[in-house]
Amino acid sequence: MLIVCDFDGTITTHDCLNLIVQDFAAEAWAEIEPRLRAGEIDLLQAIEEEFLHVRLTEEQVVRHVLKGTEVRAGFHEFVTWTEDVGHELVIVSAGFRVLIDAVLATAGLSRLRVFSGDACFTPQGTTIQYPPSAQECASRCGMCKADAVREVVAASVAPSPLVHVGDGLSDLCVARTADIVFARAGLARLLQREHIQFYPFEDFFEVRRVLEALTPI
């Protein structure tokens, strides 16, 4: 199987981007999040605007993130299991490489393959970068996850069932194309609205149990 896993709020217990904006740019959060929820702006615009107001060094931001979140229960064991069984696990995130690397390094999981955006933090404000999307993504998810998955699939020898694990708006475009979806929080609500079937999860022990039951070895 090819297992595509979101990072913020999926692998981590808290969304790193939300943690930063809520704590360091609360006014921008209060102003921009309602516009995102109402569909006036898309995810990419919301992230760009919010982070203009985050005025900190990279060191300060990383320290805050490591204090505020950790890897979700069962994720370590899940990674080991995918390696033992031979499933390909890829992290695809609309978040920032600099934060993902710090969390994974702290958890001893730097070996995982990551597709994501990145951010340059300065005391004057934060600028963000995403790889260009090959196609115009309807959800403008920044780092288009469906695009990243196409890249991984194109490079793999044999087509394998696509599993997606996620929790938010940026997961929607790839969840629509996945064979098996695990969802929590906002993604679960979005999928319910579109009548797309998914397995709810709160930890990675559950994800593994379902996948093992689906593919007896």
Interface residues toward Mg ion, by CB under 5 A: 6, 8-9, 167-168
143: partner contacted, choices Mg ion, Zn ion, none (Cβ within 5-8 A by kind): none
146: partner contacted, choices Mg ion, Zn ion, none (Cβ within 5-8 A by kind): Zn ion
6: partner contacted, choices Mg ion, Zn ion, none (Cβ within 5-8 A by kind): Mg ion
Q: Whole-angstrom Cα distance, residue 92 to residue 8?
A: 10
Q: Which amino acid is at 163?
A: V
Q: Shortest distance, CB of residue 82 to Zn ion, whole angstroms? A: 24
Is the Cβ of residue 27 or residue 194 nearer to Zn ion in the bound state? 194
Q: Shortest distance, CB of residue 11 to Mg ion, whole angstroms? A: 9
Task: Give me 23's structure tokens.
Answer: 């704590």
Torsion angles phi and psi, residue 31, rounded to 5:
-85, -40
Is the Cβ of residue 16 or residue 173 nearer to Zn ion in the bound state? 173
Q: Shortest distance, CB of residue 12 to Zn ion, whole angstroms? A: 21
Q: Whose CB is nearest to Zn ion?
A: 137
How far is CA 155 from each of CA 46, 90, 104, 122, 151, rounded to the nearest angstrom? Answer: 32, 13, 24, 36, 6
Q: 72, 6 in Cβ contact below 8 A? A: no
Is the Cβ of residue 57 or residue 113 nearer to Mg ion in the bound state? 113
Is the Cβ of residue 141 or residue 180 nearer to Mg ion in the bound state? 141
Q: Which amino acid is at 85?
A: V
50: partner contacted, choices Zn ion, Mg ion, none (Cβ within 5-8 A by kind): none
Task: Note the residues at the interface with Zn ion (CB under 5 A).
Answer: 137, 141, 144, 146, 173
Residue identified by tokens 């006036």 is: 40
144: partner contacted, choices Mg ion, Zn ion, none (Cβ within 5-8 A by kind): Zn ion
SS (H, E, C) 108-159: CCCCCEEEEEEEEEECCEEEEECCCCCCCCCCCCCCCHHHHHHHHHHHCCCC
Q: Shortest distance, CB of residue 125 to Zn ion, whole angstroms? A: 26
Q: Shortest distance, CB of residue 41 to Zn ion, whole angstroms? A: 16
Is the Cβ of residue 56 or residue 144 nearer to Zn ion in the bound state? 144
8: partner contacted, choices Zn ion, Mg ion, none (Cβ within 5-8 A by kind): Mg ion
Q: Whole-angstrom Cα distance, residue 189 to residue 217?
A: 32
Q: Shortest distance, CB of residue 141 to Zn ion, whole angstroms? A: 4
| HSE-up of residue 98 (Cα within 13 Å, Cβ side) | 19
